[in-house]
Every structure is written in structure tokens, then in C-alpha cells.
Structure 1
Amino acid sequence: MTLQSILGNFALILFVLMVLTGIIWFLDRFYLRVQRRAKADAALAAFDARNVKLRAEGIKLESSGRAELEANLLRQPTWVEYSGSFFPVIAMVFFLRSFLYEPFKIPSSSMVPTLLVGDLILVNKFTYGIRLPILNKKIIDINSPQRGDVMVFKYPKDLSLDYIKRVVGVPGDKIVYRNKRLSINGTALTYTALPDYLNDDSLNYSKQFKENLSSVDHKIAVVEQAPPINLSGVQDFPFKDNCSFNPGGFACTVPDGQYFMMGDNRDNSEDSRYWGFVPDQNIVGKAFLVWMNLGNLKRIGTFFD
């Protein structure tokens, strides 16, 4: 694992911080605190004995000195105090983002018009099963990805990168893409024309359609003059012999344990057409909500299919 991938793996960084602060918290709670208490008791006993002696000699003492001495001796060192206070917060964040919901930011326009650049989204981490943090190994199977789901996954060519696309094909499906129209297992998808879509970044218009994918209606954008697939961009990938490519499109049969992903911005998306299938072990979770977009506050609270 390279330094860049480690620094890019926030879950790993969070895990290391949780372990370090947790060790300090437990060490303080079950050892250092006991040592401080024993040291304070010994010092207070000596303090009391000295006071008894001084009183016998007729010297009047201030009673507040004992409480101050005890407080000073029981006070946590600064590094222990901060570590102990951070531990429960870090542990809670680690649990929430590892097993329940994880936030992501949309960096590109590959999922336009469904998701825009700058959208901050939430991903359900448990809907496809419970996975061990860091290792991403599934330990409890719950559901499988379905056609039409918007899914976050580890990019097969670089596992340090998270990608987001739409599930177009599940294991066993035969996907055919011709003239920018999909057919799955011999059944052509239905498309309804919508008003042209204006891309705010490029200020260019794209043709927009409502695509019905296994009863999931969602919008797609296409550029009429662009080819269905750029053959020069197709890379080598596992199970590539399950696919055939030509200038008009492609046909692929999805292997067991694999998924075929495409972006909704069909002619501006690097997806399974170019780098292949997504293995089940690469799955991160199902995206479902835009919880923030600082550049477009109307996006806040947008649920999407």
C-alpha cells in the first residue's frame, strides 16, 4: 500500500486514530488514574500528618490547601485529557461511517443530470450487507445491488479511488448498447424525450431522456454527435472476452459476482464500457440523498433513484 493510498483512505486514518486514542483512554481509566489516586492518597496522608503536628505546636493552617493539593495530583496530563475526550467522538464517527452512512462528494459530471458536481451525498453502507471496515470484506449478506441503483464502489483499476455510477447489469445479464439505447436480456429499455439539459459547467446543451431501467425511472444526458463508445479508450480488464465492441456500441454478458456500471451522463462518463466489471468485493454502498451543495442550496435534501 502506497503512502498516497494510505493518506487517501480516511477510514484507515480514522481507525488508527481510534485505536491510539482508545489505548490512551483505557490506559488512563484502568491504570494511570489508579496510580494518580494512590499518589494523591499518599501525599494527602503526609499532608494530614504534617498538619496534625503543626496544630499540636499551635500553628493555625489554611484548610483549602488540602483540596488544591488533591486536585493537582488527580489532574490528567494534557495529552491524556485530549486523547480521552477525542476517543468516544472518533469511535462514534468510525462506527457510523463504517456500518451505517458515509458521506461522499461528487467530483465530476459523469452522473449528470442525477448528480451535480459539488453534491455532497450520503451512502447507505448496510443495504448490500455488513462489511468489515478497511478490508471491505462482507460478513453478513443482506441485499444485492439491483439494476437502477446508484452505487459507490472501489475503482477496479485503483482501489484507493471511490467511483459512483448506476448499476445497469447484474450477474447473468446480457447488456447491449446500440445507438445510445440499452437492451437487457433481449428487452429494449423505454426512453421518453425531455427538454434539453444545460450543463452549468460547460454551458452546453445535451439531449435529455427519461430511461426506464427495471422500473426505475431516471434521467440521462447524451451528446448526439458523440459516438456510443470511444473504442480507443477501451482497456484490458478481467472477463473482457464476455464483451464485444464495435463503433456502434457493445454487448456484454455480466459474469457471476460482477456488476456493469454506467454513468447517467452517457457520453461524458468513464465506466464499465472502458474499464470493465465491478466485483462484489469492491462495493461500498448505495447512494440515496444529497445532503448539501454549497453552490446550489436547492439541492439540499434531494433523494434520488
Structure 2
Amino acid sequence: MSSLTGLFYGALVVYLGGWYLNKWTGNFSLLLFILTLVTFGYWLAEKFLFAPRRIAAAQNLEAQDAARRKDLARQGITKVDGDLEGAKRTLLMQPWWLDWTAGLFPVILIVFLLRSFLFEPFKIPSGSMIPTLLVGDLILVNKYHYGVRLPVINKKIIANHDPQRGDVMVFRYPQDPSVDYIKRVVGVPGDEVAYRNQQLTVNGELLQTAPQPDFFNEDANRFEKEYREKLGTVEHRILVDRQRPSGISNAYSFPFKDNCRYSAEGVTCKVPPGHYFMMGDNRDNSTDSRWWGFVPDENIVGKAFFVWMNFSDPKRIGSFK
């Protein structure tokens, strides 16, 4: 078993190393699920097989020592050498391969349940959500807000809230579901969303915006136009790059693309049932639903709501809209 465990951990190190070096794409949910199953198997084996064997061996040693002392006592020998307690502790001690499998099962199980059904941490990798979220923000995502889903297969089993306009949502990228994206919900099923001439309308209604002081974008090392926008019941900040054209000439192929009309002024899309239209708050520096289409309900991961750390700027810790 020690060789098998060593082989398992060796494969795990190779997998994680290749993932870190971008040799292949990892699936942390699947990895955590496998680790939970494997350590659970070891935990069962420890509880019902290995631990009883060690206990029986310790009891047998104790019985042998008692018989030996009794036999020596009949011969008049009362002082007997030997560290019985030390030998018993050695027999009862878990070997390393059980300590690093069965011993870790409760911890891995708790992490798996918390991450799968309650909260999951994410790191913001790009500037598409500036100024709401900055590169390097470590955020928490509420996994149950949009319903309880089975881990790995992401199958919804209990419904909860539907996504609303203005929500910041994490989802599996429709073009590559192994990658998680984060954007803001702009359109829900049935909405007509238009972004033309750098102005956003939903169902024909132009969204209210109010100019703010220019925002210094550290990623781009320049000041950009900032506005406060009201989307549904949510007020939030956006950036608009007046130097960027509104037209989209290289949109991808995606399901329901016929629901969208593209022109030099921008794009207008009718959101199909069971799908959502997503946009970044860094409006003209975000590759989002304007390019790659609608997000289906089955791709939803959860609602982002809290920055729990940014090592470059700890003052960013807190909730956001």
C-alpha cells in the first residue's frame, strides 16, 4: 500500500506541475472530487481493516508480555526489562501513507463540501471588470445563490434565485467550459440588449449614467473616463474608452448568433430563453457576450460578492456591487 500511495502522490505532483506550467488545463473540482473519494477509501480501510489489525497486534503483545511476566514470577523473577508501552505505541502508530490519506480525509471532505455548495474563491486574472474588480483581487463566489448544483457535472438539483441584471456572475466560458469567466449580467432571458456608439440600452431604454472623476487604470497606465451606471436596481461604476470604435467585426460563431445584429455602430442582441448576456464593466476593453455569445444557465458557477484579499492593496477587502 505504501508503494501504491507513493505512486498516487507522484501522479498528483505531475498533474499539478503540468497544470501550473500550462502544459494542460486542470479541473480543480474534478481533482478535489477524486481526492475526496480516494482518501475516503483509505479512511474506510483504516477504520475497518488497518486500525483493528494494529489494535489486535498491540493486545496480542500485551497478552504475551503478561504471560511472560507470569511465567517469570513463578520462577521468582519479579524485575523484568522491556518497554511495553513504547512497543504498543509503535504498533498503534499510523504509517505515513495512512496519515497522508485517511488522516486528511475529514479536511478534504470539508473543503470539498464548502467549495461545491457554499463558497468558492477565485482570482481576478484580467482587467475586464475594472473599476469594480482589479487584477489580483481574490474574491468569494456564492455557490448556492443561483441554486444548488452537483459538483463536477454542474447539474442544478435545487432552484434558488434567478440571475438579475446587475449581478456580477462567475460562469464557465461557453467557448471553453474548462475556463471560468467573470462578468456582469446585462441581459436576462427575453431582453433586447444593445451597445451602440458606446451607449447601453436594455429593452429600448437607455441606461442612466453619471460622469465621475477620471479613473487611473494602472494596467493601462493612463486615465480613463469613468461613469456611474444604474442597471436594474444596481448602481455600479464603468469605464468607457472614447478612442475605441463601437463596431465588432470579428465576433465568434456561437449558438443563437442569429439573435444578434452587428453594425459599425455596435451590436443588438435578443437574449434567448435560459441564457444571459454578459458584459465587463471595462466596457471597451472586455471580450464578452458581444463577441462570444450568450451564457447558458447550465454554465453558471455562482454570484461574486466579496473581495477577501488583494496582496497589493489590502484596503480593497470588502463587498462590492
TM-score (norm 2): 0.90
SS in 1 for 2:254: coil
Aligned to 1:45, the other structure's residue is in SS state: helix
Q: Tell me how far 1:64 sits from its aligned partner.
A: 6.1
The farther-off stretch of 266-275 and 5-14 is: 5-14
Task: Tell me the secondary structure at the aligned position of residue 231 of structure 1.
Answer: coil
Q: Which of the numbers 59, 67, 84 marks the counterpart of 1:66? A: 84
1:11 aligns with 2:29: yes
Q: How does 1:282-297 map to 2 (within 5 A)?
A: 282-297=299-314
More deviation in 235-244 or 66-75? 66-75
Q: Structure 1 residue 6: deviation in Å?
A: 7.6
Aligned-residue RMSD, C-alpha: 1.7
* Worse overlay, 251-260 or 180-189: 180-189
Amino acid at match of 2:290: R
The alignment partner of 2:101 has SS state of helix
- 2:11 maps to which residue? none
SS at match of 1:206: strand
What secondary structure sits across from 2:106 in the alignment?
A: helix
Q: CA deviation at 1:68?
A: 2.4
Q: Of residues 112, 116, 141 in structure 2, which corresponds to 1:123?
A: 141
**Unmatched 5+ stretches in structure 1:** none
Instruction: Provide the secondary structure at the position in 2 that maps to 1:157.
Output: coil
Question: Contact conserved, 2:130 with 2:239, CA < 8 A, in 1?
Answer: yes
- The answer on 1:270 being equivalent to 2:283 is no
Alignment match, 2:6: none
Q: 2-side partners of 1:87 and 1:7: how far apart?
A: 25
- Residue 62 of structure 1 deviates from its aligned partner by 3.6
Specify the alignment match of 1:20 in structure 2.
Answer: 38
Counterparts of 2:170 and 2:109, CA distance in 1: 23
In the TM superposition, residue 84 of structure 1 has moved relative to its aligned partner by 2.8
CA distance in 2, matches of 1:229, 1:112: 21
- The question of 1:196 aligning with 2:214 is answered yes
Aligned length: 302
Q: 2:276 aligns to what?
A: 259
- 1:124-203 superposed matches below 5 A: 124-203=142-221
TM-score computed with the length of structure 1 as normaliser: 0.94
Query: What residue number does 2:70 align with?
Result: 52
- Tell me what 2:3 maps to: none
| Separation in 2, partners of 1:7, 1:264 | 27
Q: Is 1:113 the counterpart of 2:131 in the alignment?
A: yes
Identify if the C-alpha distance between structure 1 residues 229 and 123 changes in structure 2 by more than 3 Å, giving closer, same or farther: farther
What is aligned with 1:304? Answer: 320
Aligned partners of 1:72 and 1:264: how far apart in 2? 61
Match for residue 220 of structure 1 among 238, 241, 244 = 238
Write the deviation string for residues 187-224 of structure 1: whole angstroms up to 9, x where unpaired. Answer: 11111111111101221121111111112111110110
Instruction: Give CA-to-partner distance per residue, 1:65-88, whole Å, 9 cap, x none.
Output: 332232222222121123233111
- On the 8 A contact 1:195/1:208 being kept in 2, the answer is yes
Unaligned residue ranges in structure 2 (runs of 5+): 1-14
Stretches (4+) displaced over 4 A = 2-7
